[in-house]
Structure 1
């Protein structure tokens, strides 16, 4: 898989690299401060139905983008790795309640990462469509496993798991504000780590493998280790996102909550946002989460009760799909690249 995008935390229009770096930092701090202040003005609906799923979808897209956008390894098993993270974190919380919540989330992510390494072993021999088929098989196997064996769900009759009490240092996080801040803090920390990772030697190794793994092997880059490391880190991040999806968003889930549709949703998010781009994950997640809500409100306002709700939902899905195709044709590098160019043009006008 060739390079499809670049890290679009760049291109702010200044010729001074130091100035651009400080501008990026200032913008990131301002954005984080704004997001942290959201609970002061947002109601429970916005926190529960919009912002929390947006942040978790962004985190899931980040995990898949590290694998596909930076390391060039195709995967369609994101939903399965989310399920691993959710069930692993649930069992750790259940059986080791003395561990703090952040440690539980990290351990659940590590278990998901180890499963991702196993699922990534075929990447040492195959690539492209065949690797997609391999990860798709992992998706189906994991979904079947959690439905088939009751131990994972503590022998629940419905094979579902419910969120335990969420607390850090005695502070209850079960309220919408608490769950939002937990999700925001997790996403912010993982994003900072991911940015440093892709700019490190590991990230350069992944991009060399992505561009041409044969040439990378010739110049001495450990291709096999690089691919498996990409699967581990990607699945770790996706596993943490799966735990947050189960506990901070839905509250109770079963393996069907992480089905193939979820895997496609994550893949669409990084394709639309921009592969090989950190900021593209958030743009793509916003598109996937916010646009259906917007279409629902617009459709209700325009058509009212004149159209059957089922037909209106199908119309919204068709329009949503058409917009995805249009964006892919208009800007194959993703919306993040489009926004980056717009920012560059705007900044250049102010410099004149």
Structure 2
């Protein structure tokens, strides 16, 4: 069969510890990259790029940030959207108040600001965990949203609180078309995903997982709990902050606190639950599920247009969406990433799968 690793011998430690040790996985990854970077900008429609692929990539990045905190470090958070808001407003103010600020530098600095804010709200994790920590991070959601609305300096004293994102330019090249905005988003997401994957495989990721599995045992073997937990909050908030800047600048074109409300935080949490906690792939699969399912339900609702009222259709959409999520979690509580892992194992052992 095509998916076999027989005869692929590892002659070095680097080869054995590669991210994709099987040759077919590496070929598949390069094919996906070629399609994403070349085929999609050339042939995909503007609707597909602007309304589906760009929000999918940005939400995948935010879900990856939350997955680092919740899936790998075991620290539950309900304030992901708040840290996205911090990143969005920080990037806007860097571009507004620092003459000649490069766009990518503004995004990275916005991520660092979100990381600092995340560390502040991560301090309660040193004393509490589980449901109580979720409540503490929920306070961050309400406080940050209130602060961004209350203090006009963040929005440059706009009367409505909604401000237009400045024009984007990278290395002197304007980012105006949907294809250019897509390529910018894709490049940022790919770079940060590779960085997260390597970080998780290094000693930092092993420390996070040790704290997640049993923090007392982790402290006994010498893992600094304070530094490990705060680093998890910082890295998670950094990713969410960059995702928030991309959401405001690339997708919406406006910066407003209402775009990062509590509903967005729950949406990101559902992504990692459905996709699979503790996996990088699960962040992308969960984001694809959350982004594509409402579109599919809207298409199905369009077939019933005229037969039932629009308000009833909207309620049915929410009901079906919730029922599908519950049914999926009952069938496979470890998420879509586990289904993908099982399928790969069966292919590797075919025709004798377990």
With the length of structure 2 as denominator, give the TM-score of the two structures.
0.93
Counterpart CA distance in 1 for 2:335 and 2:154 is 38
Give the CA deviation at 1:14: 3.9
How do 1:5-44 residues align onto structure 2 when only pairs under 5 Å count? 14=5, 20-36=21-37, 37-44=39-46
Give the CA deviation at 1:159: 0.9
Give the CA deviation at 1:178: 1.0
How do 1:1-352 residues align onto structure 2 when only pairs under 5 Å count? 14=5, 20-36=21-37, 37-301=39-303, 303-349=304-350
Counterpart CA distance in 2 for 1:280 and 1:72 is 16
Counterpart CA distance in 2 for 1:347 and 1:299 is 40
* Structure 1, 120-129 or 42-51: larger mean CA deviation: 42-51
* 1:198–1:204 Cα contact (<8 Å) kept: yes
Counterpart CA distance in 2 for 1:124 and 1:43 is 48
The equivalent of 2:13 in structure 1 is none
Give the 3-state SS of the residue equivalent to 1:172 in structure 2: strand
Deviations 1:181-238 (A, max 9, x none): 1100000000000000000000000000000000000111101100000000000000
Counterpart CA distance in 2 for 1:341 and 1:83 is 37
Deviations 1:13-60 (A, max 9, x none): 747575834333322222121111202111111111100000001000
Any unmatched runs of 5+ in structure 2? 11-15
Any unmatched runs of 5+ in structure 1? 1-11
CA RMSD of aligned residues (A): 1.6
Give the number of the structure with larger relative contact order, counting CA–CA contacts within 8 Å between residues 6 or more apart.
1
Counterpart CA distance in 2 for 1:101 and 1:265 is 27
Give the 3-state SS of the residue equivalent to 1:143 in structure 2: helix
